[in-house]
Amino acid sequence: MKVGFVGFRGMVGSVLINRMISEGDFKAHNIQTYFFSTSQAGNKITLPFATHDTLLDAYNIDELKQMDIIVSTQSGTYTNTVFENLRNAGYNGYYIDASSALRMRDDTIIALSPVNQDIINHGIQNGIKNFAGGNCSITLSLIGLHGLFRENLIKNMSMMTYQAASGAGALYVRELLKQMAYVVDSNHIDIMNDDTTILDLMNNVGMSIKSDGYPIDNFKTQLAGSVIPWIDMDLNDGSSKEEEKAEAEANKIFGLPPQTIKIDGLCIRVGTVRSHCNAITMQLKEKLSIGEIEKIIKHGNQWVHYVPNNKTSTMDELNPIYTSNTLNISVGRLKKSTLGDDIYHVFTVGDQLLWGASEPLRQVLLSIINFFDKKVR
């Protein structure tokens, strides 16, 4: 099948292509790959498995139309620009999108294979052609707490996110690292020397962070040495766009009517490089013991890595360093809340570039290819 990749050199795109290479997808599934670029059409392609020598133009509807499947890891702006034109021009192939542009349309399935493979399969069999990956601030927790969702135990959830810089894109990761380097390099006091006066050191670091040279072109404010409690657009009702997505997408992913499960909270950017965390307070429909909940969470799906609620295990296995570059979703800090006897706290963390972005796209791509392979056989 002809598969066109758009945005394959960005943050999510490069993780997707690397994973497909390491898993042998291109060979195993006889995928004919075509690479499209929004900015460098005509430039040479260095990838060995490309079926052509130069990059194709991602705005060329006639070229896109030749594809059986298009996988876009570009922004929502790109999808908003080409998608309708493509369909209006008669494109009847699949459009798999990493962005939020199509997610809430009736003709689009938000694909999250560990929890809704049945909905994906049903959609493919019934002619659905649009698939989107979900928002990583919520999808990782849906995988981690899948057991509780499957048993219909969650009434509502407050989630406070700790989102890594790479969720915002490649430029933002670079900026976070530049900010860190700037704080060290521009400091007049040797940070590695423990004999210095602590207040002088802290004041110097504070001045570095606030000085004009500290790079904030992308984040527009400081992240290294600080946090940013706002992600995505201001909806002017007290919420950010990122916060609005969680409930809407979660219910759709599970095939539930809107607002069936209530989810709200604050989305916060922190100075980590990779893997998003969620501190969750949830109200369950039943008063269960911690042992019972633990058992249900552990049986959620193969990606759940349950971390016992003690200090040593938490420090070792419930953090972005542990989950980055893996498909594991660590779930821990499970405890009863003093706020009510049906209220519990839990913490989830997973790689938002893998299960939070590229892996659901890869899985739906493979599901579509397998569906056609079986039909041909």
So which residues are the catalytic ones?
Answer: 136, 276
Q: How big is the site for ligand HSE, counted in residues (CB under 6 A)?
A: 8
Asked whether position 163 contacts ligand HSE by CB under 6 A, the answer is yes
- Which regions of the chain does DSSP assign to beta strands (E)? 2-6, 32-37, 56-57, 69-72, 94-97, 108-111, 130-133, 154-162, 262-266, 276-284, 304-306, 329-336, 343-350
Smallest gap from Cβ 46 to ligand HSE, in A, equals: 27
Smallest gap from Cβ 105 to ligand HSE, in A, equals: 17
Asked whether position 167 contacts ligand HSE by CB under 6 A, the answer is yes
Of the candidate residues 135, 208, 319, 323, the single one contacting ligand HSE (CB under 6 A): 135
- Whichever of 245 and 333 has its CB closer to ligand HSE, that residue is 245
- Long-range CB contacts (< 8 A, 24+ apart) of 15-21? 15/353, 15/354, 15/357, 15/358, 16/71, 16/73, 16/357, 16/358, 16/361, 16/362, 17/47, 19/354, 19/358, 19/359, 19/362, 20/362, 21/49
Q: Which residue is nearest to ligand HSE (CB)?
A: 167
Of the candidate residues 97, 175, 242, 317, the single one contacting ligand HSE (CB under 6 A): 242
Q: Measure the CA–CA gap between 59 and 92, rounded to whole angstroms.
A: 17
Asked whether position 168 contacts ligand HSE by CB under 6 A, the answer is yes
DSSP letter (8 states) at residue 272: -
Asked whether position 112 contacts ligand HSE by CB under 6 A, the answer is no
Question: Binders of ligand HSE among 278-337, rule CB under 6 A?
Answer: none
Reduced to 3 states (helix: H, G, I; strand: E, B; else coil), residue 279 is: strand
Asked whether position 110 contacts ligand HSE by CB under 6 A, the answer is no
* Tokens matching residue 4: 């066109």
Of the candidate residues 111, 136, 183, 331, the single one contacting ligand HSE (CB under 6 A): 136
The answer to whether 72 and 48 have CB atoms below 8 angstroms apart is no
Smallest gap from Cβ 166 to ligand HSE, in A, equals: 8
Smallest gap from Cβ 372 to ligand HSE, in A, equals: 29
Q: Which residues bind ligand HSE (CB under 6 A)?
A: 135-137, 163, 167-168, 231, 242
